[in-house]
Structure 1
Amino acid sequence: MPKPYDFIIVGAGTAGSLLASQLSKHSRVLLMEAGPSNLLTPLNPMKSQTPWLHVPLGYLYTMTMKSTSYGFKTTVGDRQIEYPRGRTLGGCSSINGMIYQKGNTGDYDGWGVKGWEGSDMMKCFDRIEKEFNWPVNKQRLRWEILDSFGEAVEEKKGLTKNERLVDSEEEGVGYFQVNQSGGFRVSAFQAFVDGRYMTMNDEREREYGKNLDVVTGAVVKGLLFQEGSRNKVMGVEYWKEVDGVIDDRETHEVRTNLDGGEVVLSAGAVSSPHLLMCSGIGCGTADEKVSLPVGLNLQDHLQLRQVFKLAEGTTSLNPIANSMIGRMRIGIEYGLKQTGPLSMAPSQLGAFLKSSPELAFPDLQWHVQPLSLDKFGDEKLHSFPGMTAAVCNLRPTSRGSITLSGGSKDVRDKPIIDPRYLESLHDQKVAARGMRMTRDIVLGSSSFAKYKPQEYLPGIEYSTDEELAAQAKKVGTSIFHPCGTCKMGCEGDKDAVVDGSLRVFGMEGLRVCDASVMPSITSGNTNSPTLAIAANLSRLLAAEKGGGGKKRKRY
């Protein structure tokens, strides 16, 4: 029997990687990942099994590759859309848009949980950037049409450009900061576990192999419970996956220490609740161990893609990428300098604006791209010069769910993901306002007039609230920010799954640490807030287990 661990972390993604790096300073940690080990040194990406994991524009491929994504799907209106979730070392941070955003202090104050207020979380972001050396850098390219969009926002709203657009505390427009280093993507696993981006402090000097084990191809089947107990978690059981095939002929087990060992689920807002339900926690079946609202409270950002056709001769990615010579130049530029379109994040320019002046914080975010296509995932761009300006409601009131497919508790059966986009009247009205604002910025400003823009999708013929809300369901797609499905809350909160220390209510030796614990979605991209959640839990655990005061009661 292998030596038991102090912590078993399920999921080597954004939160799991940071948490493992911190806990393994003083504890014996096992970090488990269902996906394969695709990551090699980013300094030699072509030697990797999956080189597109290192090239920023590679997200176009890795979001839908079986070796790097779970291949989940969901719906918007009557359309089925992709719902990528990372399935490799680094998790979603290995396939996402690399955009660094903190949200705003009001988001965290609104969570209503002590120790998770805005001031606490902003300290976590400072630690991530300064102490943990998480790379936050400017992008390595600019586009004239994006500069003009920024000028149009300034013209319409009386704003000035924000050179470091990393939060939504106030209205602003500018180029996003990204998690890249030298033109390569940096995932959480690379930054915090692999150690190449660590500063020269005790992190680098520590021997990673001493306290931290990493296992890939480990498909967790379910939680292990103490014999005779319904609420004491002792470890996990899993199958091994080799070359994409799960070998279910043999089940493997790993266990935690009897004295205070814990399992931490960091598998993400889809897979963490799915694993809980498959283990009999909160699934509402006759054999459930604890009744909890697991999988409810699902929230996500829906981006409403408005496409604009621009005058012939305008420089956008469309004519460049549609030309053989253009594609060759793109490849050569990136190969020589790691700049140009291959270094692009999915969205380069961003803006935060209020849909109504009485709001305390911006509730709309734009992701603007110097390209256009009919739908996300299309390989070929439009034949004309185009631009996409996608607006999203940062604080949707619609709530969805993650549920078992046909009641199956086999983790190999994908769960049903139903965000219920635009279900609330509030979300429909905000969608209409946002689309009108996009139209006004592009078609109604003198700054953008030189490109002779025409709205290609959805089309200016749609103008009423009802028409625009209907079109939102046709042009909308997820920005892949699911959260809230294992809601954090105080004792007595009937909607909560975990407490303020991220312990699962009614269970012993079990916590959840990822975006699923967010009570409400943050006002911006969610990858960095997920890192901050892990950083905050590592702080709480240091105080709880390291003699930092009286241990808190377990529920």
Structure 2
Amino acid sequence: MSRIVQCDFVIVGGGTAGCVLASRLSENGRHRVILVESGRDTPPDRVEPAILDSYPRVAYFNVRNVWADLRVSLQPVPHNDPGKRQLRRYEQARLMGGGSSLNDMQANRGTPDDYDDWARNGATGWSWEEVLPFFRKAERDVDFDGPLHGQSGPIPIRRIHSDCWPEFARAAARAFSETGFKALQDQNGEFEDGYFPVAINNIYDRRVSTAIGYLGNSVRQRPNLEIWPNATVTRLVTEGARIVGVEVETGQGPARIMAGETIVSAGALHSPAILQRAGIGPARTLRALGIEVIADRAGVGRNLQEHPAISISAHINHDARLARTNQRRHIHVAARYSSGTAGGLPSDMYLVAMSKTGWHPVGEQIGSLMTWINKAHSRGFVAIESPDPSVEPRVEFGFLSDYRDVERLKVGMRLLARLYDTPAMKAVANDPFPTSYSERIRDLGIVSHKNYVLTRILATALDGPAWLRRTLLRHVVTEDDPVERMMADDELLEAFVREKAHGVWHASGTCKIGSADDPEAVVDPSGRVMGVDGLRVCDASVMPFTPRANTNLPTIMIAERMCALILQQNEKR
């Protein structure tokens, strides 16, 4: 028989938002809070070196840290030929801190217009003026002060000075300048096109996730907070149209947590799946699976968004590489720019320079310029295919299904080619080649002795004669046509971006905030699921539109603001 536990709030998912919720909702001592995380815990004094590492890709490709069976379709799937759906891995964190424990640590807010756009489209109370205090509350900016920046929050924000950059990053900055980009110092305070040192949630060259920043030792010792790692929520417990708790599988057996409020914070792919299995979602789809419908909400799982990306990489001269004895951080400089295409918006594109593309010897000598669409028009969906919680949902991102996105990635590729053609980049980078984030690259990203030996041999050859390097890059390292051929053939360029666009782990939008008269909206401005009592959603899934930013900092802000709204509403009861 399941043990039964009572609490005021149960939080489903200890990811970026879940850790913030657990900390803030238990802060005043009045509410009993239980945080349930399906992955393992990362207590502050026992965080693994690979997670703390400023170079994140070692931890990202460790199967222990992600949902190992999750597969997604990135490109559109023909409705008349669903067999052409190509499934790929899409790393979603499964450990305390979620994406904030594995991502690239870019602390990017986006632009004020992102949030004003939310408010204009039904997310009342989420304008820039209203969310700024919660960005400030979350952060401790060690470089900038004033009305735009916080000084006492749990997440440190800093930038690495250009004196400490590897030469590849400095060359990229010079190339930006030579191409007409304006130099900015503070990407979170200067909201215009230009290049800048990347803001990161990292201090002393170590990651600070929400698990570290919000769930410190003193927080964990609160008598009103329980943290349940390695515990998987199997279903939401319903009483009519009210959610009264969750059922959980733990190492000690099944349990039922009865709660005044249940808050789902499982991310943009798993949160809508949890709702759908509980009977909250598009009624026709749920009934076809034999699920009793408690709330017919067509928007659950719709509006899936990402930042489609594409890259051009190059072999880096030995003296321009990221020095092993210096620092681990591999992204130092980035840029915002406007595509200028039909349907484009100001700062609708983003670009980063990576001075290292892998943990292995080849990754250490290959650099990359990667660009993505900051404000995509294309939309996808998440839909369960079974009521069984162990079966991953169907995920179709539909990248570039809107032709305006195709045009913008083509603009981005042409810009990358121009940057590599500047004197600054020619001095440090050799033989640029188009790159794609293929399954083969993912396999090489897994730390193993075999991968080290293979890449050591290839790296030795790449540092050899120029003719040999060129041959290996074009016939072994890359699978695609040369850059110069793509730049001369628009059809070839379009085929490349359509086939090879990949994501940057910024899934969002599948349980969007909106007004009651919006059929696609799932939650109200305080996260309450429409048509259901006792249930909220709080994570990147509630974003009406993905901001022009990496999603980590905006997700932290969302959790901070929703905590304030939840506590305010509870005080009035």
Q: Same fold (TM over 0.5)?
A: yes
Q: 1:253 aligns with which of 251, 256, 259?
A: 256
2:336 is equivalent to residue 352 of structure 1: yes
Q: How far is the alpha carbon of 1:524 from its aligned partner?
A: 1.3
Partner of 1:491: 516
After TM superposition, the structure 1 = structure 2 runs for residues 342-421 of structure 1, keeping only pairs within 5 Å, are 344-345=329-330, 347-356=331-340, 361-372=346-357, 379=360, 381=362, 385-404=365-384, 407-421=385-399
Q: How far is the alpha carbon of 1:447 from its aligned partner?
A: 2.9
Partner of 2:182: 159
Q: How far is the alpha carbon of 1:151 from its aligned partner?
A: 1.4
Q: 1:436 aligns with which of 403, 414, 424?
A: 414
SS in 1 for 2:346: coil
After TM superposition, the structure 1 = structure 2 runs for residues 46-57 of structure 1, keeping only pairs within 5 Å, are 48=47, 50-57=48-55
Equivalent pairs, count: 487
CA pair 465-510 structure 1, distance change in 2 beyond 3 A: farther
Is 2:137–2:153's contact at 8 Å kept on the other side of the alignment?
Answer: yes
2:143 is equivalent to residue 145 of structure 1: no
Partner of 1:288: 293
Q: 2:32 aligns with which of 22, 28, 33?
A: 28
Is 2:52–2:207's contact at 8 Å kept on the other side of the alignment?
Answer: yes
CA–CA separation in structure 1 for the residues paired with 2:400 and 2:245: 40
2:215 is equivalent to residue 193 of structure 1: yes
Partner of 1:302: 308
Partner of 1:200: none
2:402 is equivalent to residue 424 of structure 1: yes
What is the CA deviation profile of residues 29-64 of structure 1, one whole-angstrom value per residue up to 9, with x for unaligned ones? 1111111124442xxxxx65x43112222x323223
Q: How far is the alpha carbon of 1:453 from its aligned partner?
A: 4.1
What is the CA deviation profile of residues 488-508 of structure 1, one whole-angstrom value per residue up to 9, with x for unaligned ones? 100110011111111111100
Q: How far is the alpha carbon of 1:92 from its aligned partner?
A: 1.0
Q: 1:16 aligns with which of 18, 38, 48?
A: 18
Q: 2:423 aligns with which of 423, 446, 453?
A: 446
Residue type of the partner of 1:70?
Answer: W
Identity percentage of aligned residues: 26
RMSD: 2.4
Is 1:9–1:32's contact at 8 Å kept on the other side of the alignment?
Answer: yes
CA–CA separation in structure 2 for the residues paired with 1:520 and 1:128: 21
What is the CA deviation profile of residues 129-167 of structure 1, one whole-angstrom value per residue up to 9, with x for unaligned ones? 13423111223841112111111111211512x233336
Residue type of the partner of 2:18?
Answer: G
Greater Cα offset, 457-466 or 19-28: 457-466
Residue type of the partner of 1:438?
Answer: L
What is the CA deviation profile of residues 201-226 of structure 1, one whole-angstrom value per residue up to 9, with x for unaligned ones? xxx6x784222111111100010012
2:115 is equivalent to residue 114 of structure 1: no
What is the CA deviation profile of residues 317-371 of structure 1, one whole-angstrom value per residue up to 9, with x for unaligned ones? 4xx7xxxxxxxxx3xx4xxxxx512xx15x3321111111996631110121113
Residue type of the partner of 2:391?
Answer: D
CA–CA separation in structure 2 for the residues paired with 1:149 and 1:116: 36
CA–CA separation in structure 2 for the residues paired with 1:386 and 1:472: 21
After TM superposition, the structure 1 = structure 2 runs for residues 185-334 of structure 1, keeping only pairs within 5 Å, are 185-194=207-216, 208-226=221-239, 229=240, 231-240=241-250, 242=251, 250-256=253-259, 261-283=260-282, 284-286=285-287, 287-292=292-297, 293-310=299-316, 312-317=317-322, 330=324, 333=325
Greater Cα offset, 263-272 or 67-76: 67-76
Is 1:391–1:434's contact at 8 Å kept on the other side of the alignment?
Answer: yes
Is 2:43–2:216's contact at 8 Å kept on the other side of the alignment?
Answer: no
CA–CA separation in structure 2 for the residues paired with 1:388 and 1:106: 29
2:525 is equivalent to residue 500 of structure 1: yes
Partner of 1:171: 193
Give the TM-score normalised by the residue count of structure 1.
Answer: 0.82
SS in 1 for 2:546: coil
Partner of 2:327: 340
SS in 1 for 2:156: coil
What is the CA deviation profile of residues 175-199 of structure 1, one whole-angstrom value per residue up to 9, with x for unaligned ones? 212111222111101101125xxxx
Q: 1:133 aligns with which of 144, 149, 154?
A: 154
Residue type of the partner of 2:205?
Answer: G
2:535 is equivalent to residue 510 of structure 1: yes
CA–CA separation in structure 1 for the residues paired with 2:103 and 2:54: 9
What is the CA deviation profile of residues 507-550 of structure 1, one whole-angstrom value per residue up to 9, with x for unaligned ones? 00000000000011110100000001011111212321224xxx
CA–CA separation in structure 1 for the residues paired with 2:215 and 2:336: 33
Q: How far is the alpha carbon of 1:3 from its aligned partner?
A: 5.1
SS in 2 for 1:116: coil
Bigger fraction of residues in helix:
2
CA–CA separation in structure 2 for the residues paired with 1:143 and 1:349: 11
